[in-house]
A and B are shown apart, each in its own frame.
Chain A
Amino acid sequence: MASEHATTLKSEKVLESIKQAQRSKEIVDVDQDMVKIVIFESCGACYGFYGADIKEIIQQSQISWVPGLPEYLPGLINVRGDIESVVDLHHFLGGDAATDEKPVIAMVVRDDFRSGVLVDAIVDVLDILVSEIKPPLATLQGAARELVCGEFQYGDKPVTLLDSEKLASKIRI
């Protein structure tokens, strides 16, 4: 019996290694800031917005056209009695105007900017490490360049992270 206590049980060793691994993970979790990202498709590519800026995803909403608006503002939507504007991202990402009659709309709210943003489809909503977000490539070309604040990998796909504040500043007159 005495010898049994003198030597550490295998189960204790295993348990200790598991706890050690958990403590290491907790340390990583504390040290590495996570951020929520909403990934969506537009113009055939993957883009993302910070989740904190997206208040709601609205499916199949009817857009009411308003005369005299620029091409990137397709009109109004009624969100449970609140009338909201809609921005067509295609205009800023270099694609043709969106044609879906009942498209997917992400409600973007940041500071005093508040608008629905037309996207082709929502791909995923996930938490990623801030360190996974890389600065945008200096060689990035196209209309999206002025809206980009970073890039990261989602599986084998690159995701271009868009800054809603930059989008807002391009739209305001």
Chain B
Amino acid sequence: MNDWETTSGVVRLNLLLFTVGGVCFAVDAEQVDGMSGYQTGESGNLLWFHELLGFGYRDVTYREPAVLAIKTVESGSCRVIIDNMEDIAEYSVSDIVPLPALLEPFAVRNGIWGVLKRDSVLTLLVDFHRIANLPDILLRITKECIP
């Protein structure tokens, strides 16, 4: 039995919900080591969430930024700045649907692997371990941090 399965067979995920640039996201709380407030001007292995996910030309304003410490598979941990932390809550896997086949190849590169349906709100599920260029980004910011 996986650790996200209950003895009754109901599969549930503990999700951390937040909003960046008006888009709702959720990440498995197991990938998060900790959370702290963001101090203006703070630096050191910090990644802005919208840069990590390829928001492109869209302007993103952070109103209530917070820093998530993320466990990464190979590189220890990294810190990602998110916005509008909403909730940490348990959801059934039955509330999650896969991405449409047409979008999936593009979205998965950015770590987006599914959609959580909450009433009429579509929340994009992000797996930091599936962001294709995360190792390159981590390598870059690590080099930038070395004086």
Contact = CB atoms under 8 A, between A and B. Distances in A.
Interface of A: 64-70, 73, 76, 78, 81-85, 87, 112-115, 171-173
B26 to A, nearest CB: 14
Interface in B81-113: 97, 99-103, 105-107, 109-110, 112
A67 B110 contact: yes
A110 B55 CA distance: 31
Contacts of B97: 82-83
A93 B32 CA distance: 44
Contacts of B67: none
A32 B116 CA distance: 49
A112 B70 CA distance: 37
Contacts of B134: none
A164 to B, nearest CB: 13
B115 A68 contact: no
Contact of B101 (A68, A82, A87, A112): A112
Interface residues of B, number: 24
30 contacts: A64-B23, A64-B122, A66-B23, A66-B112, A67-B50, A67-B53, A67-B54, A67-B55, A67-B112, A68-B56, A68-B107, A68-B109, A68-B110, A69-B106, A69-B107, A70-B106, A73-B102, A73-B106, A76-B99, A76-B100, A78-B117, A78-B120, A78-B122, A81-B117, A83-B97, A83-B122, A85-B101, A114-B101, A115-B102, A172-B102
A161 to B, nearest CB: 22
A83 B109 contact: no
A68 B117 contact: no
A85 B102 CA distance: 7
A69 B107 CA distance: 7
A84 B104 CA distance: 11
A147 to B, nearest CB: 16
B132 to A, nearest CB: 10
Contacts of B124: 66-67
A68 B112 contact: yes
Contacts of A76: 99-100, 103, 115, 122
A65 B100 contact: no
B118 to A, nearest CB: 11
B143 to A, nearest CB: 24
B135 to A, nearest CB: 17
B103 A173 contact: no
Nearest to A67: B53
B101 A69 contact: no
Contacts of B50: 67
A52 B78 CA distance: 50
Nearest to A82: B97
Nearest to B120: A78
A69 B108 CA distance: 10
Given A81-B117, A85-B100, A115-B100, A66 B105 contact: no
A84 B101 CA distance: 9
Contact of B105 (A78, A83, A84, A173): A173
